[in-house]
A and B are shown apart, each in its own frame.
Chain A
Amino acid sequence: MIEFKHVSKVYENGTRALDDVNIHINPGEFVFIVGASGAGKSTFLKLMMREDVPSGGSIQVNDFNLGTLPKRKIPYFRRTMGIVFQDFRLIPTMTVYDNVAFAMRVIGTKESTIRKRVPYVLNLVGLANKARNLPQELSGGEQQRVALARALSNNADIIIADEPTGNVDPQMSLEIVELLTRLNDGGTTVIMVTHAHELVQQFDRRVVILEHGRVVYDGNTKESGDMLQSSQGHLDRAYIDSFDPTFAITGENTAAALDESIKKYGNSKLKDTSGDFTVYLDKSAGSESDSQ
């Protein structure tokens, strides 16, 4: 069970990453967390893994109240969840087998248990025959499956996948999500953070859409309609990532600020989100303002 109650997070620089977030996830659920970059997905994950603490509200994960969890208990808390990252985070000098075994060894698992468990989880992700290979000898999809096997190695009942398909081709992405759903069918809670809405739409699961730190949709993927689309905007992602000019205009003098930003950035699109404006910039607009 994962429960976020009125959780907010404001960073030192004033960025309000999460704003009154309420999410309840039952054991055995599969949830996609979707949002554009800067929507608060990473912060959501960091708080859930107790890498960071919220500025307000409370978080409960299984039997752990993260607000009162002492520092020395954090390692034991982390053992209840398996984490998969966009960049795989495999140790390049270790074989596939050792990468998985490493996660078990560093929490003091007995070698006899490791010898049984590693082949089992590698088989689960379909990589039993690659145990002796080094990570760089595998494709991106295979590397992500090794990371998944590692996340499974310690019998975690929650799997957290942070953009697991970000560095993987579309066909492999689909396979990875299918693998996650199979694990979920076996009873593991899966939380997958992604911006790949096309991928999400292919699965009939729960989806939580974040925008500017707030939950704007929480329901089934099939009923999300164009919420899922618009959460992304229709802009070139690479462009947004490289310039990051997407911003919100709020509060007083909204009209003046809008005028100024349109003057500055030229052809930009506006989207009204609950009273505030989000400015999405056209790719061409960016290059124009650059050349000036």
Chain B
Amino acid sequence: MHSGRIGYLTKEGFRNVWVNRLMSIASVCVLMSCLIMIGVAFLCFVNVQALLDEVDDQNVVMIFVDNDLTPEQIESIGNSIDALPNIEHIDYHSAEENSRDFYDQIQSELLVDYFDDKEAETIPASFEVHLSDMGQFDQTLEKINALDNIQYVRQSKELASFLVTLRSSVSYISIGAVAMLLLVSLFIISNTVRITMHSRRLEISIMKNVGATNSFIRWPFMVEGMVLGAFSGLVSLGIVFGLYQLILTSLSTAFATLQLIEPVPFTDYWYWILIGFEVIGITTGGFGSAISIRKYLKEKAYEEAREHHHH
């Protein structure tokens, strides 16, 4: 195609946005509400994931080794644990450290009188094991239990399996919600474009009468859809940012008192959201228009063909 024509058709697409501004505003609002919902769903997902990561991190397996082991034996246990699969990292706590912690914890409490130095000596050294995948908690635990010179393993299997279930449910729900919102926005956008098309049937009929080819008729509508999509994406990003900040500010005291983790900062994700919004906006805008105009032009042709075919 001649470059001047592309220029004209593109300009025409932009002009259409302005000339049909009521319809444009309607389309932008519809697309924006879908994008905002997608954005909110995404941020919820990100935050829940961050929270789960945090909880995961605290769900450690504590391995207390036998008393009276030589430093070499303890080191060899450490090496064996490290060599197991699904181990993210391990921290070593010496017997002295553990006793100090123990007394630190109970000092303020009444129980302090019941413990004497002898008992403190019975507290063994330990390894704090962080797992990389909670889903394989059982298998890893089995391997840990099989190790020699181990006195006691403290773990929370229920919490681990609960976290795994929660994580996968959150993923499914988020993916489902985003997919549904995408479908809804595509459906609404293509309907909105069809209404636009209906309100512009005069223009289309003139174009057909003077001999414009179908691609020439289609292009300005597609440009229009893409412009609206890109614009909706940008504005939605701003609105989602505003909403997120608003929610963070109003919930900041709640976060502090509940001692929950810090919410994920928007700045960590804004470019992902922007890219997502622009991709969704431009494709639903462009494709929505293309689908609608194709359908519209086909229906016209079909009406003619049907009348003919019948005889």
Interface residues, chain A, CB within 8 Å of chain B? 10-12, 49, 51-53, 55, 71-72, 74-79, 82-83, 89, 91, 93, 102-103, 105-108, 110-111, 150, 154
Contacts and interface: CB of A to CB of B under 8 A. Distances in A.
Given A74-B211, A89-B202, 14 more contacts: A12-B307, A12-B311, A49-B209, A52-B308, A75-B212, A75-B214, A79-B210, A89-B209, A106-B212, A107-B210, A107-B211, A108-B2, A111-B4, A111-B8
B213 interface: yes
B80 interface: no
Nearest to A11: B307
B210 A78 contact: yes
Nearest to B7: A111
17 contacts: A10-B311, A12-B307, A55-B308, A55-B311, A74-B211, A75-B208, A75-B214, A79-B211, A91-B202, A93-B19, A103-B206, A105-B8, A106-B212, A108-B2, A110-B4, A111-B8, A154-B211
A42 to B, nearest CB: 13
A101 B213 CA distance: 17
Contacts of A83: 209-210
A43 to B, nearest CB: 11
B17 to A, nearest CB: 13
Contacts of A102: 206
B172 interface: no
B5 interface: yes
Interface in B192-251: 202-203, 205-214, 216-217
B118 interface: no
A144 B190 CA distance: 35
B310 A12 contact: yes
Contacts of A79: 210-211
B147 interface: no
A12 to B, nearest CB: 5
B294 to A, nearest CB: 14
Interface string B275-311: 0000000000000000000000000010010111011
A83 B211 CA distance: 11
B306 A12 contact: yes
B211 to A, nearest CB: 4
A89 B8 CA distance: 22
Contacts of B4: 110-111
A10 B310 CA distance: 9
A74 B305 CA distance: 14
Contact of A77 (B5, B8, B205, B211): B211
Contacts of B205: 89
Nearest to A110: B4
A275 to B, nearest CB: 24
Nearest to A103: B210
Given A55-B311, A89-B202, A71 B301 contact: yes
Query: Which of B211, B213, B310 gathers the greatest number of chain A CB atoms within 10 Å?
Result: B211
A78 B217 CA distance: 15
Contacts of A110: 4
A75 B307 contact: no
A10 B309 CA distance: 11
Closest 5 pairs between A and B when the two form their complex, measured CB to CB: A78-B211, A79-B211, A106-B212, A103-B210, A75-B211
